[in-house]
Amino acid sequence: MREAARILLVLGIFFEVFGPALGTEIPHLRLGQVKSGTAAWETDTVRRHDFDRAAGIVLDTVDLANPAAGEVALQAGGVDAILTDWLWVSRQRQAGQNIIFIPHTAALGEILVPNASSIRTLGDLDGKRLGVAGGPLDKSWLLLRAYSRRVLGHDLADRAEAVYAAPPLLSRELAAGRIDAVLTYWPFAARLTVRGFRSLASMSDIMKGLGFSAPVPMLGYALSESWIARHPGGIEAFLAATGKADAVMAESDDEWERLGPLTAAEDHATLVALRERFRGGIVAHWGAPERTQILRLFALLAETGSADLTGGSAEIAPGTFWPGSAP
């Protein structure tokens, strides 16, 4: 296997250098990403092991100030791909943008409370201050509201005081006791757990309670269809490279020790917590069953959310999902 990988690497470098003269050019994919974001961990692993060149592609990264900057850059042609969710891709397709979604992670957020809190169930959130990362249209918040209506018989938004803010601020507010609980993204949940905060419910539990049998990939790569058309086989090469990186990250603890500085983990316990949550979110399969679940999820979110979330459509825009299978 190592010899085969070495041969592929040599061939990749050969065609990158001499390809233009031979009429064959190795495709470059400009991936816009936030330097400290979780996708950067995967990208760093790809490039460290030359998985991209071995697969016949060159992965170039473009640093972004924030996810919103990536959305602008992709629409303007400044990058070829970004990390986002399929709701955004669907809205862009409804607006005439030729963008397609492939999954990156099924990792979801979590609801946490102080370890000594009297809050033991979701019903105990009545009258409490609940921090919500991402704002009123955050997907996890909408799913929690849908779950509370179905299971608790009321909309949690009518019983708890939602406090919307960025995840780092909400973590500080929870530690200071100015909010009673927080619904936050999984990397921040991992850090809070290490600091002694208690999980009240994971969004995986909420999804199961809503009838979803398997993790649903929420975040993924949005790729320009014009780039895909110019580079036949490019998307398969990209998936092969990231698939190999995920396999290494799933098995090698040493790889995570190397990634430690990039994750900004405060200590080894935090690094382990981030590692295990990342591994739990790796998408093992991407096919018709997963896309069918997303169609159901879209309908649920459309019912709970607004036109700002869905683009005013009751259904996902045709062509939103890449029809192939992840490695």
For the chain, 327 residues long, give each residue's pLDDT as a single digit of tens: 445 445 444 444 444 444 443 445 789 999 999 988 899 999 999 999 999 999 999 999 999 988 889 999 999 999 999 999 999 999 999 989 999 999 999 999 999 999 999 999 999 999 999 999 988 988 899 999 999 999 999 999 999 999 999 999 999 999 999 999 999 999 999 999 999 999 999 999 999 999 987 778 889 999 999 999 999 999 999 999 999 999 999 999 999 999 999 999 999 999 999 999 999 999 988 888 888 888 888 888 888 876 777 777 778 999 999 887 554
Given this model, what pLDDT does residue 325 score?
Answer: 57
Q: Is 33 left (phi over 0), alpha (psi -120 to 50) or beta?
A: beta
Q: Which residues contact 320 (CB under 8 A, 6 or more apart)?
A: 86, 89, 90, 93, 100, 101
Q: Is 266 exposed, middle or buried (0-12, 13-18, 19+ CB in 10 A)?
A: exposed
Given this model, what pLDDT does residue 264 score?
Answer: 94
pTM to 2 decimals?
0.87
Q: Which residues contact 194 (CB under 8 A, 6 or more apart)?
A: 267, 269, 270, 273
* Strands across the sheet containing 219-224: 58-64, 28-34, 81-85, 219-224, 99-105
DSSP assignment string, 261-317:
HHHT-SSHHHHHHHHHHHHHHB----SHHHHHHHHHHHHHHHHHS-HHHHTT-SSPP
Given this model, what pLDDT does residue 289 score?
Answer: 84
Given this model, what pLDDT does residue 24 score?
Answer: 54
